[in-house]
Structure 1
Amino acid sequence: MNTIAALKQGNLLVFNELYYSWHQRIYYFILRKTKSSFIAEEVTQLTFIKFWNYRESLSDNLDAHLQLFRIARTTLIDFLRKETVYKEKVIHIIDRYTLPSEELWGKLAEKELQHKLAHALEEMPPMRRKVFEMSRFKGMSHQQIAQELSLSSRTVEAHIFQAIKQIKHYFGLLLPLLAWLFPF
């Protein structure tokens, strides 16, 4: 039985063999493109999840590994698009709520959001918080932060990514409220 046919029938042994044979190659393919081990791990996992979930629609005419790399490429593009949109929204929200508001309700909401952001920042590990503050509040580039703190640019990128992810998690249900209070 060929690999694609076995996958379409839900054969987990064949999937596991593919996973162990190609996981590391997919990971390094993404790592070369992004220079981020975090993104490479996330996209690699998403690739195999999608590969399994959409196994019935795999082409019988292409090798499984070629289809894996196609899925990895499109998953990376989707991931980067979503992260870019998310980062822009968070930065916009942070920028917007720190500006003085003309209305009393706006000022109250602004203070509440500042308090929530301050609390979210307090919960971060010290280095992550410092890197995030240098980037977002002082406007320093990744390279400048890396140089000042004697870190690699990748480490700075990872800290910022994790900080944004932590803020997103902390604000959770508040994001729709923020969007309502401060339309984009």
Structure 2
Amino acid sequence: MIAALKEDNLLAFNEVYYAYHKKIYHFILRKTKSSFLAEEVTQLTFIKCWNYRASLDENLGIDIQLFRIARTTLVDQLRKTTAYQEKVIHVVNSYLIPQDELWNRMAEKELQQQLAKAMEEMPPMRRKVFEMSRFKGMSYQQIAHELSLSSRTVEAHIFQATRQLRHYLGPLLLAWWIGNH
């Protein structure tokens, strides 16, 4: 199979793809609990397999090499996601401060509307945890204690809220940042 891949055999690649796509997807899904990330990493795994087929080791099974590529790709994606989230959190936090002047400091009316829309669309508990953290300045432990949740659950709510805000505000924040720097 590897020899056929090295010879640019698309039929062999299709065979590998159909034999391992679901296995790679479920492997990543078990690790991340994120269908989005599992889909992304699975696709990137097969893209990398094809792009670097000439360097595949004929002494190792294709399954071993695919799972190695998947693990490496997952680590890369998590690093990129974490770095991006930290940047977005920094920008969002500069606006999500517990002060009455918050809305006055927002330069973009659309940004304000999108923030409100994103907050409205959050599940009630996620919104409450996020507001306690960002608007009231409470620590994860304080929120966990007040709401009878674990700190990990609070952390997960904050992560999901940040992800949702990034979805709604990311392009607007980027445009604002470019316009102001």
- Normalised by the size of structure 2, how large is the TM-score? 0.67
Asked if the contact 2:2/2:56 (under 8 Å) is kept, the reply is yes
Match of 2:56 among 53, 58, 63: 58
Confirm or deny that 1:12 pairs with 2:10. Answer: yes
Amino acid at match of 2:90: H
Q: Post-superposition shift, 1:8?
A: 2.2
Indicate the residue corresponding to 1:48 in structure 2. Answer: 46
Change (3 A) 1:32 1:112: closer
Change (3 A) 1:60 1:96: same
Deviations along 1:53-90, one digit per CA (max 9) or x if unpaired, are 22233223322211101110011101111222222222
Indicate the residue corresponding to 1:98 in structure 2. Answer: 96
Deviations along 1:6-61, one digit per CA (max 9) or x if unpaired, are 11222121111111211222123222322333322322222112212222332233
Change (3 A) 1:59 1:111: same
Q: Post-superposition shift, 1:179?
A: 4.2
Confirm or deny that 1:21 pairs with 2:19. Answer: yes
Indicate the residue corresponding to 1:176 in structure 2. Answer: 174
Aligned residues between the structures = 165
In structure 2, runs of 5+ residues without a counterpart are 134-138
Change (3 A) 1:89 1:38: same
Confirm or deny that 1:80 pairs with 2:78. Answer: yes
Deviations along 1:94-119, one digit per CA (max 9) or x if unpaired, are 221133599xxx82527663333224
Indicate the residue corresponding to 1:136 in structure 2. Answer: 130
Asked if the contact 1:15/1:52 (under 8 Å) is kept, the reply is yes
Asked if the contact 1:97/1:110 (under 8 Å) is kept, the reply is no
Larger CA deviation: 173-182 vs 60-69: 173-182
Confirm or deny that 1:67 pairs with 2:59. Answer: no
In structure 1, runs of 5+ residues without a counterpart are none
- Normalised by the size of structure 1, how large is the TM-score? 0.66
Percent sequence identity is 53
Change (3 A) 1:89 1:135: farther
Partner Cα separation in structure 1 for residue 35 and residue 171 of structure 2: 29
Amino acid at match of 1:34: T
Asked if the contact 2:115/2:165 (under 8 Å) is kept, the reply is yes
* Displacement over 6 Å in runs of 4+: none
Change (3 A) 1:20 1:133: same
Asked if the contact 2:111/2:172 (under 8 Å) is kept, the reply is no
Change (3 A) 1:68 1:79: same
